[in-house]
Amino acid sequence: MNIQSKIASNVHVDFDGPYRMSVGGDLVGADQTFDVYNPATGAVVANAPEASREQVDAAIAAAKAAQPGWAGLSWEARSAYIAAYADALDAHKEELITLLTTEQGKPRHSMATVEVDYAIYWVREVAKRRLEDEVLEDTDEHTVRVAHTPLGVVGAITPWNFPVLLGLWKIAPCLITGNTIIMKPSPYTPLGTLRFGEIAQKILPPGVLNIVSGGNAQGAWITEHPDVSKISFTGSTATGRKVMAASSGNLKRITLELGGNDPAIVLPGTDYKPLIPTLFDAAFGNSGQWCIAIKRLYVHDTLYDDFLSDFVDYTAEKTVGDGMDPNTDLGPIQNTMQYGKLLDLFADVKAKGYAVPLGGEIDEARPGNFVPITIVDNPPKDSRIVREEPFGPILPVLRFSDVDAVIADANDTEFGLGASVWGPDREEAVSVANRIEAGTVWVNEIHIHGIDIPFGGHKQSGMGVENGKEGLQEFTNTKTYMVKK
């Protein structure tokens, strides 16, 4: 049977509600629910089910029961299912985009559309990937072959900043390698994930993809469960430490994609004016709510004054507003917890008397979690705005004169996720990049990702990698066969 014949027009999903979890192929509610808010208005947009312990256990049991049959399919058969799932998602992408803006806040016409389109593309492309066996020895007397076998049941916990992309980013490689999955989205942005779980139930075999919603308790139940073989977590470093500790009970495999305090270094002689839109997007895109955003922008002393003036002028033209408004450049902060953290950080910047050429004052009387785009002019390197990950639209721009010193400053952090180096001499820029302690360093470009490009953090920015052959292998055990002939 052509799996893809099952999709498209016959996959009906009501995006207005109710919102239900996916457990063993069934769509289920819960005795308890929690409110989901529109961060642009503060209004409740829906109620999401809060999974009970019994429902989480049932979802894991369903995943465990389904896994041998799913793993027993050929790569081509699993690929056909996943490609059909991508087609079904694509048939509903407009609804997914609107729902993403409604619960997350990012502008519908730009970042929300890009996220959903990119996520569907990612699923479709990952479905084409394979992990081939490797023959290490093949003589008349002996054969050695290395294969990659599924781990079993994977628990995936996803964040609120890119809920669609990062959810599907985990699902596709997990499933193509023969695992089954239980996923829990952030309680701040569960709706899109619940909906793409509902779509999956119309395509995938029962139990292959299970989605439950709730808060910290549900995440802990998944992380601690003895029948879960791996946890794939994206979120804060503080929570990542808890996930790592909780996974030790049965020595779960873990992939942790955690926080960042990414530096960007603009070297002397750089023609920076054409780069300003790129640097703006890299720092302030998604209202600064992404782990690989530029969080510290170092500019050489010979460029600093002119750069700062031009950067402020460009940034001042941008609009912060409701993501459904086509004139909005940046949406609100997604939740009141993060909004409160930014209130505290802005208060520190003000109390310390740092120069703020743009923004700096949050209007708490304005409905919604809106924070102005803010630039801080050369604060001390030991200041909170430099040392901490703000996760909001506030950026310190820092002056440097010595390349060795700025490299030391860039590396003086517990984080090591990403970084970028910008300069007219490519060899010099690459030489600087070689000395940066980060999992990904871009040179004269930024935020380029790819299906076949590994992505992961150094230091306390994470453990393991996603994407590429290495990312697929993270969902497998390495198994060596040695055969005497």
Alpha carbon 308 to its chain centroid, in Å, reads 30
Confidence of residue 2 (pLDDT cuts 50, 70, 90): low
Mean pLDDT of the chain: 96
* Domain boundaries of the chain, sorted by first residue: 3-258+460-484, 262-451
Is the distance from CB of 481 to CB of 145 less than 8 angstroms?
yes
| Residue 291 is a catalytic residue | yes
For residue 14, is pLDDT > 80?
Answer: no
Confidence of residue 13 (pLDDT cuts 50, 70, 90): confident
What is the phi/psi pair of residue 118, to 5°?
A: -65, -40
pLDDT value, residue 8: 47
Selecting among 50, 257, 389, 474, the annotated active-site residue is: 257
Model pLDDT for residues 199-227, shown as the tens digit of each residue: 999 999 999 999 999 999 999 999 999 99
Average confidence (pLDDT) over 9-18:
74
Average confidence (pLDDT) over 149-158:
98
Average confidence (pLDDT) over 113-133:
97
The Cα 436–Cα 415 span in angstroms is 11
Model pLDDT for residues 275-306, shown as the tens digit of each residue: 999 999 999 999 999 999 999 999 999 999 99
Model pLDDT for residues 65-118, shown as the tens digit of each residue: 999 999 999 999 999 999 999 999 999 999 999 999 999 999 999 999 999 999
CATH topology of domain 262-451: Aldehyde Dehydrogenase; Chain A, domain 2 (3.40.309)
Q: In what order do the strands lie in the sheet with 476-484?
A: 134-138, 142-150, 476-484
What is the percent of the chain where pLDDT is above 70? 98
pLDDT value, residue 4: 53
Can you say whether residue 481 is alpha, beta or left, with left for phi > 0 and alpha for psi between -120 and 50 degrees? beta
Model pLDDT for residues 216-274, shown as the tens digit of each residue: 999 999 999 999 999 999 999 999 999 999 999 999 999 999 999 999 999 999 999 99
pLDDT value, residue 353: 98
The Cα 467–Cα 169 span in angstroms is 8
Selecting among 50, 103, 174, 291, the annotated active-site residue is: 291
Average confidence (pLDDT) over 416-443:
98
Sign, Cα dihedral of 42, 30, 63, 77: negative
Model pLDDT for residues 160-169, shown as the tens digit of each residue: 999 999 999 9
pLDDT value, residue 201: 94
Confidence of residue 60 (pLDDT cuts 50, 70, 90): very high
Report pTM: 0.95
Go through 260-276 and write b for each residue having 16 or more CB atoms within 10 A of its CB, e for each that does not.
Answer: bbbbbbbbbebebeebe
Do 3-258+460-484 and 262-451 fold alike per CATH?
no
| Residue 257 is a catalytic residue | yes
pLDDT value, residue 10: 61
Confidence of residue 12 (pLDDT cuts 50, 70, 90): confident
Model pLDDT for residues 319-346, shown as the tens digit of each residue: 999 999 999 999 999 999 999 999 999 9
pLDDT value, residue 120: 98
For residue 437, is pLDDT > 80?
Answer: yes
Alpha carbon 458 to its chain centroid, in Å, reads 16
pLDDT value, residue 1: 44
Task: Write out the CATH class of domain 3-258+460-484.
Answer: alpha beta
Average confidence (pLDDT) over 356-361:
98
pLDDT value, residue 155: 98
State the angle between helix axes of 191-201 and 93-104 in degrees (0 to 180), rounded to the nearest 10: 150
What is the percent of the chain where pLDDT is above 90? 96
